[in-house]
Amino acid sequence: MRIRASLTAIAAAIGIASPLAADDHETISTDEAAPSRHFTGADLFGLSVGTDPQISPDGSKVAYVRATNDIMTDSAVRSIWLIDVASGEETPLVTGKGVHVSPRWSPDGKRLAYISTQSGDGPELHVRWMNTGVSANITALPEAPGAISWSPDGSQLAFTARVVGKPLVLGSPPPKPEGAEWGKPLQVIDKVIYRNDGGGYVKPGTMQLFVVDARGGAPRQLTFGEYSNGGQVEWSRDGSKLYFSANRRADWELEPLGSELYALDIASGEITALTDRAGPDYGAQISPDGRQIAYLGYDDVGNAFDQTNLYVMNSDGSNARQLAAGLDRGFDAIEWTNAGLFASYEDDGAHRVAKISLQGGASPLSAKVGSPYYALPYVGGQWSVADSGTLAFTTASALRPPEIGITTRRGARTLTALNDVKLAGKQLGQTRSITVTAPDGTVIPSWIMLPPGYEEGTRVPTILEMHGGPYASYGAEFSSDYQMYGAAGYAVLFTNPGGSTGYGEVFADRIEDNYPISNFDELMAAVDAAVAQGFSDPENLFVTGGSGGGILTAWVVGKTDRFKAAAAHKPVINWVSQALMADGTPFFGRYWLGAMPWENPEHYWERGPLSNMANVTTPTLVLVGAEDYRTPRSEAEQFYGALKLVGVDTALVITPDSSHNNLTQSPSQQAARTNSVIAWFDKYRTDRSDSE
């Protein structure tokens, strides 16, 4: 479930673990006599993903973060690697104990800043001198640095870090006798947003801007007060100012889309607002001549969704105008180098980068950028641009997690092969696009991943798997969940129904004021098409999805009994409790439901799956992360309780220590969570004998 750009959007997450079924495709073991020819939960270990590619200013090298799932620690090990673009040679740069992330090149390409926990004292800012291979710890802060940005002359680094604040104190306990062991002190909460998914309960304090000498020393704090400041930090070309985004309104806690762009004079500390409108502005990028600023934003008109537009203005905030207005796509990242202005966006089930003309045109590059979110086939990705215009990016493939690629004059070229040896002996499910038309004639982009070894003309058990967001999109990208479903003999049908991004504002607005109601007919049209085109066995249909897909799962089983079984991951079941308990308290009621619960309770009820509970007969598994604060655990537990009360077969699967994002689960938890769904579906599947 996504809360727009200004409130950390996190893709999706699920829960873990009923006992694994006995089939070899569901076994996690390090001493199997022979590994399965298909992708199993055990194959999550050793799987590597290329992320955060940062190309050097001259385009000769790419530093990137390699995340590899380690079987001994049951976690993703993150290290920084270096690729020589000309030769393709790859060397480890920062590895070993700790987590190493966020490589950022100095303007001259001679140094690399990064964040590392190698000291054991938490995340710290480091700089590596590339000619000597020597690194130095630059900061000594109690909180992790972020948003690293080099000054134009390479002498300083700007970054953000949380500054600890004082909690509200109400009363005090009596004096404690010496040697006594007492319970923990009271926790007093007085903030509107008091917990963040993936971050837990919010500690008192605010994010502030700092600068530090790039050779080390004490950092200087530049912003203060009750507002969190930061986002993406950009230097003026003369090094005298920092540009950043923040919500510095008096009512900032209740205005989730109120961020503006600001300029901070480093010498005096004076802060000047550059934008001023109802709606978020963020992501500043300065032009090479320092005269203009490109940025992202949109007008807040109270809708659940508005596409993010690209703008340019003078560096003093004057003469703002929209660029590429005719593209009808929502932009998500920008970068301005000597080669020009570049921007990325979702487009028809893919993630693209285009060069943007200041006259308003957009010229897409050849690269198809892939998302490092390997659990499910979400569209997205990461990229950077050299001064030459060469693009480094995470690649997209239905058969491999993202690699690191670059664009050349001849097109795009992949530089890494992180999983080729590991997956060489695996027979993977193949993805095909299928034609789906909604009852009103609208084309619904859809795909089906067929199980490994699929024989043409045969019908197979099929899982309808629905994406979250709902303002997000799927594409023909690698999914470890799907490959595990395929190994168990299931096809996976996935679509971009109304509300999905990458198809224009009108398509996204198909669910305005009616989500999840209007998606039902579109999803059933996709199922009908998969059956009509000869892929899916109509007697063995199953349904699942997470977050927004979890809501849809809960809605679907209240509207039809055509599915043999269902699995709802982290669903919203009651919009009243969701609006008041999620980590976006000021957002959901106001923007998604259009009113507070006490202002329009009927609307909340009619759009909630609880309204259909009397109709539910489909056996339904419910899954959630124990620390999910985006669609809180209480939502899943309400659904579980309701299913029990109406006599429907159900079970509740909870992942310890997991937030909303699937990848906050350890590899073993990811495997067990997917296997619990397979075991649940196998329980109701009718095309296999007990001996299988």
- DSSP of 132-173, one letter per residue? TTEEEE----SS--EEEEE-TTSSEEEEEEEEE-PPP----P
pLDDT at 133: 92
What is the CATH architecture of 423-684? 3-Layer(aba) Sandwich (3.40)
Share in percent of the chain as helix, strand, coil (round to 5): 15, 35, 50
pLDDT along the chain (692 residues), means of 10: 43 30 40 78 97 97 98 96 96 94 97 92 93 90 89 97 91 92 91 90 92 94 90 95 94 92 96 96 97 97 96 97 96 97 97 95 95 97 96 97 93 95 95 97 98 96 97 97 98 98 97 95 98 97 97 98 98 97 94 95 96 98 97 97 98 97 95 98 82 37
pTM above 0.85, yes or no: yes
CA dist 225 and 477 (Å) reads 44
DSSP H helix total and E strand total for the chain: 9, 38
- What HEC string does 388-455 produce? CCCEEEEECCCCCCCCEEEEECCEEEECCCCCHHHHCCCCCCEEEEECCECCCCCECCEEEEECCCCC
H/E stretch holding 554 reads helix 548-556
CB 554 within 8 A of CB 161: no
pLDDT at 17: 31
pLDDT at 33: 58
CA dist 305 and 501 (Å) reads 10
Residues ≥6 apart with Cβ < 8 Å to 68:
46, 47, 48, 49, 76, 77, 79
pLDDT at 7: 33
Q: Report domain extents, the chain.
A: 423-684
**Could you tell me where the beta strands, DSSP code E, fall in 456-577?**
460-466, 491-495, 536-546, 565-569
Edge-first strand order for the sheet with 90-94 is 48-55, 61-70, 75-84, 90-94
DSSP state, residue 88:
-
Kindly calculate the radius of gyration of the chain based on its CA atoms and give it in whole angstroms.
25
Bridge partners of residue 337, in order along the sequence: 340
Handedness of CA 322, 326, 327, 330 (dihedral sign): positive
Closest C-alpha among 385, 414, 435, 658 to residue 546? 658
CA dist 24 and 117 (Å) reads 38
pLDDT at 688: 67
Token duo for residue 23: 């089939």
**Could you tell me where the beta strands, DSSP code E, fall in 214-280?**
220-221, 229-235, 241-246, 260-265, 271-273
pLDDT at 140: 74
DSSP-derived pairing of the beta strands 536-546 and 565-569? parallel
pLDDT digits (tens, 9 = 90+) for 575-593: 999 999 999 999 999 999 9
**Could you tell me where the beta strands, DSSP code E, fall in 506-603?**
536-546, 565-569
CB 414 within 8 A of CB 404: yes
pLDDT at 409: 84
